[in-house]
Structure 1
Amino acid sequence: MITTLHKRWIKSCLALPVLALLAACGTYGPPGKLNIDRSVQAKSQNSRVDFVVLHYTSAGNGASLKILSERNVSSHYLVTDEQPPHVYQLVDESRRAWHAGASQWYGRNDLNAGSIGIEIVNAGGEGLVWAPYSAAQIATVTALLRDIVQRHQIKPLNIVGHSDIAPQRKVDPGPLFPWKQLAQAGLGRWYDETQVTANISQLQPSGLPDLRWFQQELIRVGYAAPTTDVLDKATKNVIAAFQMHYRPSRYDGLPDIETAAILMALR
């Protein structure tokens, strides 16, 4: 004969496995959602972001915003030419923006995967006619860059222009972009101008290094240069990109003693 007390004991025994199962499920939280413990963080880690790539848009504020938000191209940030400039964040820094395209820097391809792209509203140009950047834009870009560089610990040599990483296709941000000013603010690579003067004096007696030397030196400082020992169009494009960044007073793509002296100073 099963008494009321026996019935209660049986019910409690049957309930134990169910309670144990529910307790186990509680470790994982609601169905379909893990309860992940983030209380311990590994010491050995760093940011996935290694580069910042600077561009100009070749379009006005409205058109630039529309292109970068609605078409098959994007950037993490857009800096307008309004007064004061407005900064849009169009892509979260944890996600890939489509701004670099086919590119290379220090032998690394697919720079979209490890870079932050900053587009600056500027009409661009060609030949000797280029649209200037406003002081307010550069101040805004400087503040934005400083924040990004500090958070991701980006090396100065990895703050580059689109023309640096894709010299066969691109010329932005152009010769009027103030790379020297940024470098003086601790944002980018530059060279000791006194050393350049000394290098010119050293080079003048022996004359210009051969073309293979220029190609190898450009590779050493990060560029994807041919190794043909021929002054072909591809080599001239890389030299011009280098000159546009480091010697914007003349960017004809022709090797000369001053360009060689700057390359030497970047050692």
Structure 2
Amino acid sequence: MLPDPPPVIQSPLPYELLLDERPRGWIDLVVIHCTELPDLATARGFGERALYDSGTGNSGHYYIDRDGSVHQYVRVERIAHHVRGYNPRAIGIELVNIGRYPDWLAAGSQSMHEAYTDEQIVALVDLLRYLQRELPMLKFIAGHEELDTTEVSASDDESVLVHRKLDPGPLFPWDRVMQAITLERLGPAS
């Protein structure tokens, strides 16, 4: 008998129905992110911002707060905007973590110091196992930083290049997660 799915708080974004639909068979990749924001409420505010002519914005499908609660902002059958070049095939999972906030692109703010909570990692593993059962084509997992390797000028020094994305970052416990699931790591060339 399969274990029950993890409890998920349904919190659809106001524009969810404006996002393009896709068949579940397209989904073969999970991308792990961190919010690089102080809390879930701030992440929700960023997710609700309409940034495109379509009336949609940037968001992951799932958000996992520090207490391990799982919130779904976008159904997996909709294409969320969370990683350049991979969105049609990917599910985005955001872990609440301060990251480099508030100076994401400043040359002196390029380290990440907040560890992920045990509750977040347990919830993430439960969610990944559930998604593997629900989505038969799901095969790969990657960090945002592995798929978006773009460098940009630092916000405080144009002569310095910094990575646009560093999440989930060096404190994400890849070994622990990979030992608990059967997905394969995906790199930018795949």
Normalised-by-shorter TM-score class: 0.5 to 0.7
The ranges of structure 1 where at least 4 consecutive aligned residues each deviate by more than 3 angstroms after the TM superposition are 125-129, 187-190
2:48 corresponds to which letter in structure 1?
S
Contact residue 53 and residue 162 of structure 1 kept, 8 A: yes
SS of residue paired to 1:139: helix
- Higher normalized strand content (fraction of residues): 2
Match of 2:40?
A: 61
Q: CA deviation at 1:187?
A: 4.2
Distance 1:57 1:122 in 2: 6
Match of 1:48?
A: 26
1:175 corresponds to which letter in structure 2?
P
Of the two structures, which has the highest relative contact order with CA contacts closer than 8 Å and spacing of 6 or more?
Answer: 2
1:51 corresponds to which letter in structure 2?
L
Q: CA deviation at 1:69?
A: 2.8
Tell me the alpha carbon deviations over residues 199-256 of structure 1, each in whole angstroms, 9 at most, x when there is no partner: xxxxxxxxxxxxxxxxxxxxxx7334xxxxxxxxxxxxxxxxxxxxxxxxxxxxxxxx
CA gap of 1:111–1:62, structure 2 versus 1, over 3 A, is same
Q: Are residues 1:93 and 2:97 paired?
A: no
Q: Map of 1:192-207 to 2, 5 A cutoff?
A: none
Contact residue 55 and residue 118 of structure 1 kept, 8 A: yes
Bigger Rg, which one: 1
Identity of aligned residues (%): 33
Which residue, out of 99, 102, 107, partners 1:124?
99
CA gap of 1:122–1:151, structure 2 versus 1, over 3 A, is same
CA gap of 1:47–1:174, structure 2 versus 1, over 3 A, is same
Q: CA deviation at 1:167?
A: 1.7
Tell me the alpha carbon deviations over residues 39-69 of structure 1, each in whole angstroms, 9 at most, x when there is no partner: xxxxxx9711011001000111210111113
2:59 corresponds to which letter in structure 1?
S
For structure 1, which runs of at least 5 residues remain unmatched after alignment? 1-44, 102-109, 191-220, 225-267
Q: TM-score, normalised by structure 2?
A: 0.66
- Higher normalized helix content (fraction of residues): 1
Q: State how many pairs are aligned.
A: 139
Q: TM-score, normalised by structure 1?
A: 0.48
